[in-house]
Amino acid sequence: MVVAEVYKALGDPTRLEIIRRLSTKPTCTIGELSENLGVSRQGARKQLQVLVNANLVHLEQHGRTTQVSLETKTLEAARAFIAQIESQWDKRLKALKDFTEA
């Protein structure tokens, strides 16, 4: 997984809303996801392709419908990356605090 691609994909409000919806309902159809999304079904499909390319969602064809599911491992890896950066900054800020208080 390329972390930059994940964050680039999450940098769009429509795609973030798709991820939010999938976080509350593990599997949806493209029609369900595009409902009240503010984009056409075709527009939703284009947004989903960006998420697929970033390995954030998985599409599975079932007859005439396409089921969309969240790739939680990719989201967890992105969260772990942020946690690592956060930990480094916490250590640096603590060192600065200790230095200024000494």
* pLDDT tens digits along 5-33: 899 999 999 999 999 999 998 899 998 88
Q: What radius of gyration, in Å, describes the C-alpha atoms of the chain?
A: 18
Instruction: For domain 3-101, give its CATH number from 1.10.10.10, 3.30.420.10, 3.40.190.10, 1.10.274.10.
Output: 1.10.10.10
Q: How would residue 96 be classed by pLDDT, with cut points 50, 70 and 90?
A: confident
Residue 55 predicted with pLDDT over 80: yes
Q: What CA–CA distances, in Å, run from 15 to 32, 50, 60, 63, 95? A: 14, 8, 18, 25, 38
Q: How would residue 50 be classed by pLDDT, with cut points 50, 70 and 90?
A: very high
Q: Specify the 3-state DSSP secondary structure of 90.
A: helix
Domain map of the chain by residue range? 3-101
Question: Does this model's pTM top 0.85?
Answer: no
Q: How would residue 1 be classed by pLDDT, with cut points 50, 70 and 90?
A: low
Q: How would residue 84 be classed by pLDDT, with cut points 50, 70 and 90?
A: confident
DSSP character at residue 1: -
**Cβ(15)–Cβ(47) under 8 Å?**
yes
